[in-house]
Amino acid sequence: MKQLQVMIEGSGRHIHMTKECLEALFGAGYELEARKYLSQPGEFASNSKVDVVGPKGVIKGMTILGPCRKFTQIELSFTDARTLGINPPIRESGNIEGSAPVTLVGPAGTVDLKEGAIVAKRHLHITCKDAEEYGIQDKEIIQIKVGGERALIFDEVVARVSDNYATAVHLDYDEVNAAALFGDNAVGIILK
Amino acid sequence: MKQLQVMIEGSGRHIHMTKECLEALFGAGYELEARKYLSQPGEFASNSKVDVVGPKGVIKGMTILGPCRKFTQIELSFTDARTLGINPPIRESGNIEGSAPVTLVGPAGTVDLKEGAIVAKRHLHITCKDAEEYGIQDKEIIQIKVGGERALIFDEVVARVSDNYATAVHLDYDEVNAAALFGDNAVGIILK
């Protein structure tokens, strides 16, 4: 059995949005500025933040990622969802049909979204070379084993084969915390 | 292979404390009153709450469990620990030596604790009858498999054999959220 060790990265809550949504929140002609570039080419964390409002609470100052997309999507953990009082589905990015409604509040306006809030399905980004070597197909469900004091095996990890990313597992902070994947412990083994 | 299906219960953050600590926070002669009795005989959630302060933040109104104990212990998730800005160890209840410091603020006074904050090690409470039937020893480390959209196998689950509890796995809310163990999904299988 081949064993591939992979880096594990925690993804904090964030928002992708359309240009129309951005302008409704910040004003006509508003543009996102990059604060920090991310591992996917061209993607960045912007300096712009927005408040996200649900029926039970508010999360202030959520970071908007750029560049703008063709859909507005809020990626949360279940901890965040409980703060807001919403019940988002577990989805892959981009699949927002029928997902949870929230309201976005910016300095120039408010946007009521009928859908858009999801909890990201845990996933493995893997390069074409690594995927070929380890026999992993795009969209395949794989398992990731992690060690340490909160050792566990994550099932239902969807593989995304692309040379746009380095090979790494992306989890939300509920998952990072549940497995205590801090510092040197933030590695896993792909089980095949 | 025998498979025992067990109920999974989420444990929210809470505090146990000494009588001396309780009186320092609420005043001399103060007594805890039961709001809700818990599964362990005699244990209850009280009506009394206290603020927990760390270097980076505060968690207001944390529930005190009763009756008073011989030690003061704050059980948190890593999400809570990040809010407070502390780094608690993963421990079994009662093992607080060298654990994280916090300050407790009550209506009548403040207590600076040099240690006491832990993240609870995940555990299985199991009756003597179930333990004998499934060949599980007290303190044995077992694995719990859960299904659903966030299926995973928890390792490092410590068994506590006692007739004081019904058979159930206790997790914190980071772990509950990481596995989406809500409603009918809050069951697991003991792997032996």
Q: Where are the beta strands (DSSP E) in A73-120?
A: 73-76, 90-91, 100-105, 110-120
Contact B154/A at CB under 8 A:
yes
In chain A the domains, ranked by start, together with CATH numbers, are: 4-9+122-191 (2.40.40.20), 13-120 (no CATH)
Measured CA to CA, the distance from residue A148 to residue A163 in angstroms comes to 30
> Could you give the percent of chain B with pLDDT greater than 90?
89
Retrieve residue A1's tokens: 């059995």
CB B72 within 8 A of CB B94: no
With beta carbons under 8 A apart, name residues in chain B contacting A173.
Answer: 79
What is the ipTM score, two decimals? 0.93
- Which among A149, A150, A156 has the least Cβ separation from residue B149? A156
Residue B71: phi, psi to the nearest 5? -145, 160
- Which among B79, B150, B154 has the least Cβ separation from residue A156? B150
Contact B166/A at CB under 8 A:
no
Coil/strand/helix, residue B128? helix
Measured CA to CA, the distance from residue B45 to residue B38 in angstroms comes to 7
What CA–CA distances, in Å, run from A120 to A11, A17, A22, A156, B61? 9, 16, 22, 12, 31
> DSSP code of B148?
S
With beta carbons under 8 A apart, name residues in chain A contacting B153.
Answer: 152-153, 155
In B, minimum Cα distance to A172 occurs at B178
- Which among B79, B149, B153 has the least Cβ separation from residue A153? B153
Residue A182 half-sphere exposure toward CB, CA atoms < 13 A: 13
- Name the residue among B4, B3, B7 with its Cα closest to residue B170: B7
> DSSP code of B89?
P
Q: For an interface test with A, which of B92, B95, B155, B172 has the most A Cβ atoms less than 10 Å from its Cβ?
A: B155
Inspect the interface and report whether the beta carbons of B178 and A180 lie closer than 8 Å. no
Measured CA to CA, the distance from residue A94 to residue A116 in angstroms comes to 9
Predicted pLDDT of residue A2? 64
For residues B53-57, average pLDDT: 98
Predicted pLDDT of residue B108? 98
Contact A79/B at CB under 8 A:
yes
With beta carbons under 8 A apart, name residues in chain A contacting B59.
Answer: none
CB B10 within 8 A of CB B172: yes
Instruction: Please give chain A's pLDDT, 192 residues, in tens.
Output: 567 899 999 999 999 999 999 999 999 999 999 999 987 778 899 999 999 999 999 999 999 999 999 999 999 999 999 999 999 999 999 999 999 999 999 999 999 999 999 999 999 999 999 999 989 999 999 999 999 999 999 999 999 999 888 899 999 999 999 999 998 889 999 997
**Which residues 10-69 of B have a C-beta within 8 angstroms of A?**
none
* Pairing, β B90-91 against β B110-120: parallel
pTM across the whole model: 0.94
Residue owning tokens 């300050």: B103
* Pairing, β B90-91 against β A187-191: unpaired
Inspect the interface and report whether the beta carbons of B156 and A149 lie closer than 8 Å. yes
